[in-house]
Structure 1
Amino acid sequence: MNFLRKKTRNVDSNRTKSVYDSLKNEMYSSAIFALNVKCLYKLFDWLTLKELNALAGTCKRFNIICGAYFLQNFSPSAVCIDDGIVVYRHRFRGTIFGYKLNAFSKYMEKITIPTGRLSQFRYVEFNCVESLIELCFVDVDLTDVKIKRIKHILGRIETVELIDCHVHVQFYDGFIKYCYKLKRLKLSNVELKYGNDWMLRNFSTLEHLQLIKCKNIKRSELEVLFEMNPNIWSFEIDADLLWENKMVILETGVKWNDLIVHVTHPRNTITISIYSLLNTFHTRGHFKRLHLRCGDMLSQPFIDRIRYLNALETLHVKGEPGCVLSRLYDLKELHTFSGNLNMDESAKNLLSLEKVVFWDTTIEDVVSIIRKSVKLKEIQIRTLKEKGRFSAHFNAKNYFQQGALNLIALNGERKQLSGADTVTIFVSEDIFLATKWTTDETSHGLIELKRIMLHDWNTLFLKL
């Protein structure tokens, strides 16, 4: 959802300027520093993130230059391990593997702390204090000892996210009250030892609130929360909790710009009733835009029900093989996980689509969406299959071969669509560099290629 990803900073202008100011005072005799920064950036385009981190660790001057390049080209976010930070790649038997990014610690704006060992808090305490504005805790026992380690940086934190955590302090008095600039609070399956007194407080800066699988929430607590915090313009909740507290919303008259609903079991009777309830909420003005996340694999009849939802702008869906999305006139963003949707037919029904996120797909799906979605501006691809089931008339090698994309062929498809916008395709680092080494370009006509913001996947991958 784009509205949740917008930054409250001007990295490119402010930070780049400060980098150049820092460089004025640095004198080095090495010949490579005779090159200007723009020339160095051109060289950096050919490096992997791992190589860039290694270069940033060689000297102070390169740390400053590489740090500025990192901020302009990557999301400054990482996962904290015992002795450093990494860009998350995969997890095996509780151990996290990824690119180590210790050289960029001071530039990180978001840090995810999994498991919550004290050593992780110590690393954040001493190495990630300059730029940090977002903290995410996954499977952490949050104690007073751990909070004290990071207490001095909480005053600048704008986003706090807890996933599968146990909080052993008063959530407000022992933690949240120190986050003076808190804008986004996200709680998913969190157990609060001392109850929900935090819901009886006013958060003057809070804009987004997420409550997913949160137990023991009383109706009276929600009523007070909504009454005291009319500044919350975005609310995220799971379908079960929403159904249990539907009267609170209807009776308090609370209003949001965006309502995000997580539907874990879209086939059950309650969920079908929730679709009707959501339309009632929209008719009465409780929200302007709806964002739906469906957890289970859906058959065609259940997918067809989605089209009756009012103001649906974002959809996360897993479809059974061959399923087609019906006409969704307001849909602007689609996340598809299984690669089973018939994108060739679905694309024709998504007239307002601007962004697609493929978690697992084939090049044929990518070409289909490029051919038929005139307003499409962005495609993100986590896993792109070179082999798979393709239509009899489709030759995958014309577009994707040996790990590299054929930008000329993709642009040829895009140009045939009258009035089509330029599409930026975000791909893995391997595909980006393979394409660059093969064609010596990362843009052609209406197609532009960029490295995916690897860090955007961090938190979700930790729970897969």
Structure 2
Amino acid sequence: MSYPEKKSTLSHSHNQSHNADAIAGPSNDESPPKIFKLNIDCFDEIFEYLNVKDLHSFGQTCKRMNKVAGEYFKQNYSSAENFCEEDGIHTVYSDTDDANMRILTSGFNKLMPRISTDYYRSLDELKTGPLKYIKSHISEFESINHIYLWDLYIFNETVEHFKPLFPQLEILQHRNCSMDGDFYDLILKHCKNLREIYVQDSQVGDRINGKHNWLLQEYPKLERLELIPRETHQRRNEELRNFFVRNPNVQRFSTIYKCLWYNADTFLNSNAKLDIFEVKRFYTERWPSSYYKQTLELLNRLHEQGFYKRLYIYVNRVDEENSILFASLKSFELLCIDWFDKSYNLAQLTNLRELIILDVSDVKDMEILANGLTKLERLYIDWAKIDDIMPFIC
């Protein structure tokens, strides 16, 4: 999951050549337009007032402006979703009414760090739409390091359209997809520079000799794996033990509550030494309370044996009972809550460094929570009111 990032100004003290290019005029003998005499800081100020649509329009005025505006786009909208459609790349942004919109931004293809594929109703529509565009413009995507495959049926012909981009990828996200063939053979073996792999609610290809081949491979640069199996595939996963043996460089692993429960022995017998262990979809009301308590005990055992240093947990909501139990967790540093209507005893989580609340009701005791979470470094509240955040500011 990603959250809004604060816009940063273009800082080029380390890149004087870019500064020179940004302020230099045309190379012919004609007098350059006065706007080319502005330095990069002035352009930063101008761009702060523009939304994505206007920034893109600004960048289409000439090649030099495309480079300057494109650099700003790359630095400040690197986490934005850029969907590939039939007519080009469309960036998602919020207008003044906070409604998500998509605007054509194909003029920034060379500086775009991430592209996504959206759901398409039929294979023919996919092949004549976004895949056709990607294939015909593949040479333009010089800066792409993140591909997000969303709700697709992936087979060899699909992969061929993306394959030229695979060697430069650092992040591969695979959500709600089905695959005809082996995940490793189709995609992963062509991606030699992957740092992060996300497999979210997806079918990850055929099993070879009863095993998922991709979990038995070595990924020399891989630092993060997120494995969220589909509901129908949540079972014991013996390949995970081999994965951690072959990839000791992985520092962050994310999975869901059910996967943790079914693979408890695998994790306890693993030699993995993670920096961050994330447990998502911690929906406690779907399991007996005894399972819930045993899971928390399991997490503490994993910490004691060095499986992880820091623990992140994502829950749908928190009641009084489980908020007390959370206080017993060791190195528990991040809590994400889908629905928040009362702080209960969360103030006891004195080691918490990040608190994320995606939906907040009319909570009255935020001041108690703020006073207790003295180590909090980051607070994210979706749809927050000033009364919700003022206690933390104070």
Question: When the two structures are superposed, what TM-score results if normalisation uses the length of structure 2?
Answer: 0.83
Q: Within 2, Cα distance between the matches of 1:109 and 1:218?
A: 36
Q: 1:20 maps to what in 2?
A: 19
Q: Select the residue among 379, 382, 385 that pairs with 1:356.
A: 379
Pair 1:103-2:103 in alignment: no
**1:37 counterpart letter in structure 2:** I
Q: 1:273 maps to which residue?
A: 294
Q: In structure 2, how many angstroms separate the alpha carbons of the residues matched to 1:357 and 1:337?
A: 8
Change over 3 Å in CA distance of 1:252–1:72 after alignment to 2 = closer
Residue of structure 2 equivalent to 1:131: 143
* Aligned counterpart, 1:321: 341
Q: Check if 1:221 corresponds to 2:248.
A: no
Which of 136, 155, 162 aligns to 1:150? It is 162
Higher relative contact order (CA 8 A, sep 6+): 1
Shift of 1:284: 1.5
Q: Which residue of the partner structure matches residue 59 of structure 1?
A: 62
Q: Is this contact kept in 2: 1:78–1:108, CA < 8 A?
A: no
- Residue 195 of structure 2 aligns with an amino acid whose one-letter code is K
Using a 3 Å threshold, how does the CA distance of structure 1 residues 365 and 191 change in structure 2: closer, same or farther? same
- Given that 1:52 and 1:66 are in contact with CA atoms closer than 8 Å, whether structure 2 keeps it comes out as yes
Secondary structure of 1:192's aligned partner = coil
State the match for 1:40 in structure 2.
Answer: 43
Shift of 1:18: 5.1
Residue of 256, 276, 280 corresponding to 1:258: 276
For residues 300 and 65 of structure 1, what CA distance do their matches in structure 2 show?
A: 53
Structure 1 residue 68 displacement after superposition:
2.2
- Structure 1: tracts of 5 or more residues without a match: 6-10, 91-95, 372-464
Residue 86 of structure 2 is aligned to residue 86 of structure 1: no
Determine whether 1:290 maps to 2:311.
yes
Structure 1 residue 266: deviation in Å?
2.2
Percent identical among aligned pairs is 24
Distance 1:45 1:157 in 2: 30
d(CA) in 1 for partners of 2:393, 2:269: 45
Q: Counterpart of 1:367? A: 390
CA 1:327–1:210 in structure 2 vs 1: closer, same or farther (change >3 Å)? same
* Corresponding residue number in structure 1 for 2:97: none
Contact in 2 for aligned 1:235/1:256 (Cα 8 Å): yes
SS of residue in 2 equivalent to 1:303: helix
Provide the rounded CA distance (Å) in 2 between the counterparts of 1:225 and 1:187.
14
Does the Cα contact within 8 Å between 1:157 and 1:181 map onto a contact in 2?
yes
Query: 1:220–1:80: structure 2 CA closer, same or farther, 3 Å change rule?
Result: same
Which residue is equivalent to 1:30? Answer: 33
Cα deviation, residue 13, structure 1: 4.4
- 1:335 aligned residue (337, 356, 370): 356
Partners of 1:232 and 1:266 in 2: how far apart? 28
**Structure 1 residue 16: Cα displacement:** 5.3
Does the 8 A contact of 2:150 with 2:175 survive in 1? Answer: yes
C-alpha change, 1:21 and 1:130, in structure 2 (3 Å) is farther
Name whichever of 121-130 and 198-207 sits farther off.
121-130
C-alpha distance in structure 1 between counterparts of 2:248 and 2:109, whole Å:
36
Q: 1:120 aligns with which of 116, 130, 155?
A: 130
Other structure's SS at 1:330 match: coil
Q: Which amino acid aligns with 2:353?
A: K
SS for the counterpart of 2:250 is coil
How far, CA to CA, are the matches of 2:51 and 2:368 in structure 1? 37
Which has the larger share of strand? 1
SS state at 2:184 partner: coil
CA distance in 1, matches of 2:81, 2:60: 17
1:225-278 Cα deviation digits (max 9, x unpaired)? 122111111111111011111101112332211100013412333333211110
Instruction: Give the aligned residue type for 1:334.
Output: L
RMSD: 2.5
